[in-house]
Structure 1
Amino acid sequence: MQCDYFDRGVCRSCTLMGQPYADQVLDKELRTRELLHDAVEASGGPGAVEWLPAVRSPESGYRNKAKMVVGGSAEHPTIGLLDHRQRGVDIRHCGICTPGIRQALPVLADFVTSAGLIPYDVATRRGELKFVLVTESPDGELMVRFVLRSEGQLARLRSRLGDLLLALPSAVVVTANLLPEHKAVTEGEREVVLTDQETLPMRLGPVTMHLRPQSFFQTNTTVAEQLYAQASGWIDELEPASMWDLYCGVGGFALHAARPGRHVVGIETSREAVRSAGQSAREAGLEDVRFAADDATDHALHARPDLVPELVVVNPPRRGIGPTLADWLEASDVQHVVYSSCNPVTLASDLARMPSLRLRRARVLDMFPQTGHLEAVTLLTRG
């Protein structure tokens, strides 16, 4: 992939830009294999572990969510990032974003001007509009979120909503997020939904998930669909009567693995994500699927012994599941674990704490082309 922003030194976020894509994927696979070497040896050696071919992504146009800093002025806004002097740098045509997002960002820049929204200046701590967050669904619909410092321009945003929807008809969910603090985060706790529609339907294969503004969703729709298909395929082979989906987000693994007679529980700290997952389960008529807002580790530690499932799916953030949950899984009666990780370093350390859960299958999925990040999904079986 070629990128003018990278070539000009404007943006260097994609650290692997210019490296042949096949080499990127191979390097990620080799690095993951090296990090999981001890887990493979503890599981019986290379012959005991099946490594499936790496899942590739489109090299460009794959990222379904853009988190763009708004800088400059209302008359000449920048949509992109900040430079070393905290000034706005425009990258509205970023090539890793999906086509729908690339088409939307110039429209949103024009809207900032026409609506008179005042970009926030980090250096002086003045202004109102901090970020524009845009997510595109597989069907081409958009969720657009304006992150504001205060309610000062909320009335202006409401009054011009019709103009925005006319200029950008693919925007089916529009919100204002309030972030009054001056700190390095992209959104605040309070969300004001401006449109009648509150969720963005994300249709992946046979499953439609509902995404609310503050819910996590995999950033690469194409690879996410293959991730869920791989995990649910492994689960179907094992035929567990019960399973947990810990760190479930909007329910991706749980909803894809749900089958008649299989009792599925999804656990997630975000109440908005749990609401989304529950809505998806109800619309799909899944009676044996339940979601609850709770900490994954706390849920496991306080579970009644008779409610511990046969299989557990974990999909933690980069820090991994940590020693407490890993130790609980090691000592539990759980027979199988599907561990999906965005950080093979913490994956390796977590597996080292669960020696009785043997690594049986592994696969690298290139969720983040042009960067060093990756997703790895593994199947562990006791004994």
Structure 2
Amino acid sequence: MILEMVKIRYGMVGGGEGAFIADVHRKGAMFDGLCELTAGCFSRRQDNNAATGHRLGLHDSRIYASYEEMAVSEAKREDGIDFVVVVTPNDSHYEIVKAFLLQGIPVMCDKPLALTLSQGEELAALSAERGLPCAVTYAYSGYPMIKQAREMIRRGDIGELRSVVAEYAQEGIANPTRKGTNWRTDPKIQGESFAVADIGTHIEHTVRYMTGLRISSLCAMFNGAGLDNGLETDAKLLVRYEGGPNGMYWCTKLAIGSKNRFVIRVQGSKGTLEWEQEQPNDLRVCLKGEPVRLYARGREPLYPEAAAFNRLPGGHAEGTYESFANLYRAYALAIGKWRSGLPPEELDFDYPSFEDGVHGLRFIDACLNSAKGNSSWVSLPCGADESMKAF
């Protein structure tokens, strides 16, 4: 339900001049006119911080020297921010997120939610205890054709699920083209995992979002080629899901020629669905005894839950910016209801939550434990389904 409401005010921590993903966040947030950037602490370097804030049109009083000052000050203001976006390196997520939660400010955090599972669980518990709607930016769930696949699976169009094969291949370590991301290969900042934590968790979340399948156990084989610090650059996983189906995941930073190749194939008793991130507007549908179909976003009639996230007519490509915009639209509407004290409905939770962030951290831990144990099978506790918790 679209609410008549004033703009949602948000702040940002991180994302100073030269930052890539922060700009995607800001552009995604402004698509629907629901969100307005009103405060920020963009960099530890005060020249960068001030320059970024001024470029984005913020008043000097809303450009903060530290995130601690920002959290306290914004919580006291009558026109304070309604939520904050955290787009800093991994090792700082926990402290920053916690500072805003303690001030009663909801948070949208880049993944991973925290550096360790215990930190992530603490943040999820704190947000639930305080009734704060919080999000983690697993943005692939924002693509309309991912939502169409989800509805087809939910409605039984491809029958009983049997297996999932997914890969996320990049060439970053083998053929680096972008500067400024060296912190991702520093274990002190990135954490104990590289390929799995950076892109493998996107597989875990997107597959779980599409299919509803939860991993019960997995085994992982790591390869650290290209780095000499113990972080894996390539991971191959076998997974077992609750209820019987199984799957195979591959995530790598070593695939020369693969820019951002994220592919998911879901096989059922009646058919198969296939989606590829570099062609995100199409969904390949293969039903038993029927010709192969290519569902094109904006052309074919989609289920309402997917069609609601279309933005352009068919033939006009939608991609990363639109997926972030869909995430921000869903989250902004949830924040609007929370702020107004209205009861939430199921569709109000169609964004990745802190619980999803905790699932991602459990997944990383299980992969690390398996790889360290000579690729032994490791159980993955799923926890309770808290996708419909009250604000």
TM-score by length of 2: 0.33
Q: Rg bigger for which structure?
A: 1
Larger RCO: 1 or 2 (CA < 8 Å, sep 6+): 2
In the superposition, the TM-score normalised over structure 1's length comes to: 0.33
